[in-house]
Chains A and B, each alone.
Chain A
């Protein structure tokens, strides 16, 4: 299309650049993005830069205190905690990095579809979603994992599936909001086709909401993944993982409390980073979370 020059890409690209710049100009965005970026880089280069082999067990170091050689001490098998902490986010980032977009994609698609259909069907489907959401997530997840076993090929679809369900609600609500607005009515009154209205008027507005939602889902999913590892259903040893490391160190809390410091700091800094980023993204995109009234 020759009109593309007038309307399409440049404007869009410009917008995302502007959004990114805006995010970096906010304290929350600057801190959040740096934390996330730091963890991503670390996940990529850590295998090359770790000081010790994560599998290397040294009985003489068992539960030893932090020292010059082993900054965070060693675990119950005498492995270097600092090295294991550096490596411990890789699995989590890989799994959630794939599962989050999948969750937003399928949840968003179904939610928009429900939102557009409306009527009885929509209501019945939402009831099912609600019922499903009211069950404790860990229960649902364990049922699936017990049935299908652990491993990435199970964890990724499982997390994507469960975390897509709340996205349905969000996408549906956003769709309802947008289609009630006058610009959609205006397009209808002009006689545009349904497809064109969905594509031009609806999607761009719902996508913003979904992006913010995706960022939030990502941090929750990380927590979920770590909890699964903590319970022994996530990463299998000896692969280092924060959840697993916390679980291991927990048993020795009374006399070797330093064992949990590394993984806890790492996990929480990543989650805080993602949350701050999501917050800055929401603000930069102008999705207002109602300002508090003076009284």
Chain B
């Protein structure tokens, strides 16, 4: 190995002994080396062993796991041979880990300054008296505004992106030579994510650090990494430069992964990667990917391929890297999501002057003062949704997307305004008072199937709930119908007596979809239904939703923070900021000029899995806690703000073709 190799993992296998005494391998014979000043991306589906590998670099194994064979070296130190205390000194000091959601795991009751100082106490030689200056320095380094005043704030007083920056600052306290990052930006808004990634990139090069960046998000990887390793079922299947891996992947799995990502440049649905990876406990005779690979032949099923170097420099674990171009690149079934305007089936749902507020005036204020209430969380929403159309709702966290869906589902009552179902009459606001027919017609699918399926019920019980409630099905009839539903979401009857915990993420979400469709609804509300899923699984769920819609003419309201996903599935898109509508119109119109300034900012921050692609960051990633009282909702962050008028007057609706509307003071011709 060259002298510069800093983190060196050789032939590492990690596993556990199962209850039956078998040794189960979670990582199989993995080698990875990282030099100083280099950043390596590690990608793969959930369960592929990414986090296990990253933790192994720290000499740490999750409970139950242990290193079976192989070496882990950090700057020449054998991490597997070290005693606990010596390891402790290295971890968090010279070798720092930033785990997923680390921003959220700050201690809520401790001030920011104290928490960062605590990291200094543990991992630096500084005197207590120098702490404060150093903390400010660290906070400045992660580009937090007004670091001196931040010291005395509590974590909940910071935005998600700011919390994540504090976590990065704490990791920098020990002046690390290497950073391990496990999904550091997952769950953050697009604009915030883009800013954090820029920060990490700059820090790595300023400090000449080695970085291992674990993520399922290839867009993020393409921004920060020089090289990428793709993992599948505990093995590295492809290793190469970021350009090579992302632009011309030479392994069928990497190829499939990349084609399953929806892109802003496409309008059709991405290509789903069917099937699922083998569990660590399954015996694999040949290539682990053979079951899902379109190129698989006899040899692939019987002999495991080894990692071989190609002429172009990548290392590939595949017998047929030369046949990659035989794989399909775009979705074979060109999605029929259009045609809504053609066979206009009437109005499915109207949102009229909808305003929703969480704030309740206290009794005191109601009686004695006329102090004005904080502005409503969601205000002035007018949208008419046509039957059979998919309306996408996009916006950053806190923009009121879920709030609007909850109001439609009757879980919160609007402050003013009303809903009109089927163009007929008003829909009762409260779910308790709705008629059985109305209840059945509107169904909702939630973001995280782990949370929306009761862990104590089996799939039969889960599907039985709507079937009994709405159709009073029992006995054999109930069973038949449940099986039918499962088949419709491409699962079989043998799932009936399993529990959610025995299903993969994608399967769980299919059950949630089946449960919603059990009601034979007219309108399905989808709240971030693919955000908790792997990209390959996401593509399959999107495909399924689209297919069900084609069969039954269902109307969807599809909420997501992912602009590419919304683009792939929607007919029309509404962009929300702080609970106010910024722009609405057909997909093609919203995703191209003329733009609302906010849409422009959002689209600019989208990270494409393409190293040649640069996001353009035009607005700060500040998070606003409540909408402004008057004027344009975007006034505080708008890069094109005109002036006073934006602060005082609600922007007028600029109307373009096909019902495309932009709410902004900038005249039509300049947008």
| Residues of chain A having any CB pair with chain B under 8 Å | 1-3, 5-7, 11, 25, 181-183, 185-192, 200-201, 204-205, 208, 286, 291, 293-295
B525–chain A nearest beta-carbon distance, Å: 9
Task: Chain A residues near B446: list those with CB within 8 A.
Answer: 182, 185-186
Known contacts A190-B439, A294-B58; 10 further A-B pairs (Cβ under 8 A): A3-B464, A6-B475, A6-B479, A7-B458, A183-B454, A188-B411, A190-B519, A191-B431, A191-B469, A294-B55
Q: How far is the CA of A186 from the CA of B461 in the complex (A)?
A: 14
Out of A1, A187, A189, A295, which one reaches B410, CB within 8 Å?
A: A189
Q: How far is the CA of A52 from the CA of B91 in the complex (A)?
A: 61
- Interface residues of A, dominant DSSP: helix
The answer to whether residues A182 and B439 also contact, given A3-B468, A6-B479, A294-B91 and a CB cut-off of 8 A, is no
Determine if B451 and A190 form an interchain contact, defined as CB atoms under 8 angstroms apart: no
Task: Chain B residues near A191: list those with CB within 8 A.
Answer: 431-432, 434, 436, 439, 469
Within 8 A of A (CB), among B436-473: 436, 439, 442-444, 446-448, 451-458, 460-461, 464-466, 468-469
A135–chain B nearest beta-carbon distance, Å: 25
Determine if B465 and A187 form an interchain contact, defined as CB atoms under 8 angstroms apart: yes
Within 8 A of A (CB), among B628-649: none
Out of A6, A189, A204, A286, which one reaches B478, CB within 8 Å?
A: A6
Task: Chain B residues near A183: list those with CB within 8 A.
Answer: 451-454
> Nearest 5 A-B pairs (CB), nearest first?
A182-B452, A191-B439, A204-B456, A182-B451, A294-B60
Q: Which of A1, A182, A186 gathers most chain B CB within 10 Å?
A: A186
Q: Pull 11 A–B residue pairs with CB atoms less than 8 Å apart, ordered by A.
A: A11-B461, A182-B452, A185-B446, A189-B431, A189-B442, A189-B444, A191-B436, A192-B465, A200-B457, A204-B457, A293-B105
Determine if B466 and A190 form an interchain contact, defined as CB atoms under 8 angstroms apart: yes
Task: Chain A residues near B410: list those with CB within 8 A.
Answer: 189
Determine if A190 and B464 form an interchain contact, defined as CB atoms under 8 angstroms apart: no
Task: Chain A residues near B479: list those with CB within 8 A.
Answer: 6
Determine if A7 and B469 form an interchain contact, defined as CB atoms under 8 angstroms apart: no
Determine if B454 and A205 form an interchain contact, defined as CB atoms under 8 angstroms apart: yes
A23–chain B nearest beta-carbon distance, Å: 12
User: How many CB-defined contacts (below 8 Å) exist between A and B?
Assistant: 89
Determine if B497 and A11 form an interchain contact, defined as CB atoms under 8 angstroms apart: yes
The answer to whether residues A7 and B452 also contact, given A186-B446, A294-B60 and a CB cut-off of 8 A, is no
B309 in the interface (beta carbon within 8 A): no
| Residues of chain B having any CB pair with chain A under 8 Å | 19, 55, 58, 60, 62-63, 91-92, 97, 99, 105, 409-411, 431-432, 434, 436, 439, 442-444, 446-448, 451-458, 460-461, 464-466, 468-469, 474-475, 478-479, 497, 501, 515, 519
B168–chain A nearest beta-carbon distance, Å: 14
Task: Chain B residues near A6: list those with CB within 8 A.
Answer: 460, 464, 475, 478-479
Q: Which of A1, A11, A190, A192 gathers most chain B CB within 10 Å?
A: A190
Q: How far is the CA of A2 from the CA of B444 in the complex (A)?
A: 29
Q: How far is the CA of A192 from the CA of B470 in the complex (A)?
A: 10
- B467: nearest chain-A partner, CB-CB: A3
Task: Chain B residues near A205: list those with CB within 8 A.
Answer: 454-456
Q: How far is the CA of A5 from the CA of B55 in the complex (A)?
A: 47
- B452: nearest chain-A partner, CB-CB: A182
Out of A1, A182, A190, A204, which one reaches B469, CB within 8 Å?
A: A190
Q: How far is the CA of A188 from the CA of B475 in the complex (A)?
A: 24
Task: Chain B residues near A286: list those with CB within 8 A.
Answer: 455, 501
Q: How far is the CA of A93 from the CA of B461 in the complex (A)?
A: 39
- B527: nearest chain-A partner, CB-CB: A182
Q: How far is the CA of A183 from the CA of B19 in the complex (A)?
A: 32
Task: Chain B residues near A295: list those with CB within 8 A.
Answer: 91-92, 97
A291–chain B nearest beta-carbon distance, Å: 6
Q: How far is the CA of A2 from the CA of B436 in the complex (A)?
A: 24
Out of B91, B99, B105, B461, which one reaches A7, CB within 8 Å?
A: B461
Task: Chain B residues near A208: list those with CB within 8 A.
Answer: 456
Q: How far is the CA of A209 from the CA of B453 in the complex (A)?
A: 18
- A184: nearest chain-B partner, CB-CB: B454
B556–chain A nearest beta-carbon distance, Å: 16
Q: How far is the CA of A186 from the CA of B431 in the complex (A)?
A: 11
Determine if A192 and B454 form an interchain contact, defined as CB atoms under 8 angstroms apart: no
Task: Chain B residues near A294: list those with CB within 8 A.
Answer: 55, 58, 60, 91, 97
Out of B63, B97, B469, which one reaches A291, CB within 8 Å?
A: B63
Determine if B91 and A190 form an interchain contact, defined as CB atoms under 8 angstroms apart: no
Task: Chain A residues near B448: list those with CB within 8 A.
Answer: 182
Q: How far is the CA of A295 from the CA of B95 in the complex (A)?
A: 11
Out of A5, A186, A200, A291, which one reaches B475, CB within 8 Å?
A: A5
The answer to whether residues A3 and B60 also contact, given A185-B411, A295-B92 and a CB cut-off of 8 A, is no
- A187: nearest chain-B partner, CB-CB: B465
A107–chain B nearest beta-carbon distance, Å: 21
- A295: nearest chain-B partner, CB-CB: B92
Q: How far is the CA of A204 from the CA of B499 in the complex (A)?
A: 14
- A7: nearest chain-B partner, CB-CB: B461
The answer to whether residues A192 and B464 also contact, given A182-B448, A183-B452 and a CB cut-off of 8 A, is no
Task: Chain A residues near B515: list those with CB within 8 A.
Answer: 186
B103–chain A nearest beta-carbon distance, Å: 14
Task: Chain A residues near B443: list those with CB within 8 A.
Answer: 189-190
Q: How far is the CA of A147 from the CA of B439 in the complex (A)?
A: 58
Task: Chain B residues near A204: list those with CB within 8 A.
Answer: 454, 456-457
- A10: nearest chain-B partner, CB-CB: B497
Determine if B451 and A1 form an interchain contact, defined as CB atoms under 8 angstroms apart: no
Determine if B454 and A293 form an interchain contact, defined as CB atoms under 8 angstroms apart: no
Determine if A186 and B60 form an interchain contact, defined as CB atoms under 8 angstroms apart: no
Task: Chain A residues near B519: list those with CB within 8 A.
Answer: 190
The answer to whether residues A189 and B411 also contact, given A182-B451, A205-B455 and a CB cut-off of 8 A, is yes
Task: Chain A residues near B431: list those with CB within 8 A.
Answer: 188-189, 191
Q: How far is the CA of A25 from the CA of B60 in the complex (A)?
A: 25
Q: How far is the CA of A7 from the CA of B443 in the complex (A)?
A: 23
Task: Chain B residues near A201: list those with CB within 8 A.
Answer: 454
- B119: nearest chain-A partner, CB-CB: A295
Q: How far is the CA of A11 from the CA of B460 in the complex (A)?
A: 11
The answer to whether residues A291 and B62 also contact, given A7-B460, A182-B446, A190-B519 and a CB cut-off of 8 A, is yes
B64–chain A nearest beta-carbon distance, Å: 10
Determine if B97 and A186 form an interchain contact, defined as CB atoms under 8 angstroms apart: no
Determine if A11 and B458 form an interchain contact, defined as CB atoms under 8 angstroms apart: yes
Q: How far is the CA of A248 from the CA of B626 in the complex (A)?
A: 68
B541–chain A nearest beta-carbon distance, Å: 16
The answer to whether residues A3 and B466 also contact, given A186-B446, A190-B439 and a CB cut-off of 8 A, is no
Q: Which of A2, A191, A192, A205 gathers most chain B CB within 10 Å?
A: A191
Q: How far is the CA of A25 from the CA of B19 in the complex (A)?
A: 8
Q: How far is the CA of A188 from the CA of B431 in the complex (A)?
A: 8
- B58: nearest chain-A partner, CB-CB: A294
A244–chain B nearest beta-carbon distance, Å: 42
- A192: nearest chain-B partner, CB-CB: B469
- A205: nearest chain-B partner, CB-CB: B456
Q: How far is the CA of A7 from the CA of B460 in the complex (A)?
A: 7
Task: Chain B residues near A186: list those with CB within 8 A.
Answer: 444, 446, 452, 515
B71–chain A nearest beta-carbon distance, Å: 19
Out of B434, B454, B456, B474, which one reaches A1, CB within 8 Å?
A: B474
Determine if A7 and B455 form an interchain contact, defined as CB atoms under 8 angstroms apart: no
Q: How far is the CA of A186 from the CA of B509 in the complex (A)?
A: 14
A21–chain B nearest beta-carbon distance, Å: 10
Q: How far is the CA of A200 from the CA of B409 in the complex (A)?
A: 21
- B102: nearest chain-A partner, CB-CB: A293
Q: How far is the CA of A255 from the CA of B54 in the complex (A)?
A: 60
Determine if B474 and A7 form an interchain contact, defined as CB atoms under 8 angstroms apart: no
Q: How far is the CA of A129 from the CA of B474 in the complex (A)?
A: 45
Q: How far is the CA of A76 from the CA of B506 in the complex (A)?
A: 70
- A294: nearest chain-B partner, CB-CB: B60
Task: Chain B residues near A3: list those with CB within 8 A.
Answer: 464, 468, 474-475, 478
A189–chain B nearest beta-carbon distance, Å: 4
Task: Chain A residues near B432: list those with CB within 8 A.
Answer: 191
Q: How far is the CA of A117 from the CA of B641 in the complex (A)?
A: 47
Task: Chain A residues near B58: list those with CB within 8 A.
Answer: 294
B83–chain A nearest beta-carbon distance, Å: 15
